[in-house]
Amino acid sequence: MQFRQTWQGSVYSTVLFPVFYLGAMGLGVGHLVSAHTGLVAGQTYLHFIAPGLLATTALQLGESESLWPVLEALKWHRNYHAAVTTPLEPRDVLWGKLAWLATRGLFTGFVYTIAIGAFGAVQSWWALTLPFLAALITVAVAAPLVAYAATCEDDSSFAYIYRFAVVPMFLFSATFYPLSAYPRSLQPIVQFMPLYHAVALTRAAAFGQGSLGPITAHLIVLLTMLLAGLWWGQRSMTRRLVD
């Protein structure tokens, strides 16, 4: 019901953001990169960054909808407390939240896939899986953050998560340049970041490249985050809403 009052702003940002950002980074910055270095990992710079930007958008969606909104529903507006006075259980609140975010991620991924396809950055039929990967990335990020937000009494730590986790991942997860561009000593740190695995998956789907082993490993990382977040979230939601 709340989204029915605000959906226009979300749709505009979802549709316009990929077009403007891909244009600025892929055509603007990409022209300079191509003039000096040529292809990046066998792709033009626009094609190289386009799938990664889908992954970063899904990550930012999962983060932005999983900290302040959850604390608001638990402490300030107490919507979740109202929900559990019905036959709903705390786990239903958690699953409902994540199902809604998966829906948002799926729609965002669908729009983004159309956008990167219009820019010529889709080279395989595996790109049809990009909206589903966006949904997976969104909930894999959101699940542990929802669980964490359910343990908080104030939002003082949320800004630190954004500044010291989300922003570094956005900048240093091989989104804007390949892993080989990093010093060897930093490459294991980059590969430890969840967004690195998300970006690798979206690139593999867009280009139809990659072997089964690494793709499976990237999926396992995201699924492990999701399952751990579900386990922790059910405990923290129950503790907050019932105990």
pLDDT recorded at residue 210: 81
Domain assignment of residue 194, given as a range = 2-241
Helix, strand, coil % over all residues of the chain, rounded to 5: 80, 0, 20
pLDDT at residue 39 in the model: 62
The pLDDT tens digits for 56-88 are 999 999 999 999 999 999 999 999 999 999 999
d(CA 116, CA 44): 13
pLDDT for the residue numbered 42:
72
Instruction: Give the chain's domain count.
Output: 1
**For residues 59 and 45, what is the distance between their CA atoms, to the nearest angstrom?**
21
Identity of the residue numbered 68: W
Confidence (pLDDT) at 14: 67
- Which residues share a beta bridge with 8? none
Low-confidence ranges of the chain (pLDDT < 70): 7, 9-15, 26, 30-31, 34-36, 38-41, 243
Calculate the CA 212 to chain-centre distance. Answer: 22
pLDDT at 97: 96
Looking at residue 40, its pLDDT comes to 65
Helix/strand/coil for 80: helix
pTM of the model: 0.91
